[in-house]
Amino acid sequence: MTDLLTAEAVREKLGGLADWTGDPTRISRTVELGSFPAAIAVVDRVAEVAERLDHHPDIDIRWRTVTFRCVTHSAGGVTDRDVELARQIDDIVRSAR
């Protein structure tokens, strides 16, 4: 099983991620893209990464606004797997803008 991050560790790791917030229960980021198709394209790319990592975020799509929430459900909170997924989501969002 993957080790849960403490509140301090989550704060520290989020310091290296732009626009992510959270606590030991989950981390999240909301992004606004230029259009609905652009938002869907980002979600599609995140889905490909999530499949490769076998680690899937919760995703909420509202027109061109997308919220990503990462938590390792099997561990009951945030782990390094969530932080790595967040980094890759950031890369995808950055390349879409």
Q: How far apart are CA 8 and CA 25, in angstroms?
A: 13
What does pTM read for this prediction? 0.94
Buried b (16+ CB within 10 A) or exposed e, 60-79: eeeebebebbbbbeeeebbb
Mean pLDDT over residues 33-61, rounded? 97
pLDDT in tens, 67-93: 999 999 999 999 999 999 999 999 999
Which residue from 9, 34, 93 is spatially nearest to 59, judged by alpha carbons?
93
Tell me the pLDDT band of 2, cut-offs 50, 70 and 90.
confident
Mean pLDDT over residues 28-40, rounded? 97
Task: Output the CA–CA distances (angstroms, integers) from residue 76 to 1, 3, 34, 45, in the order listed.
Answer: 11, 10, 34, 26
Mean pLDDT over residues 37-51, rounded? 97
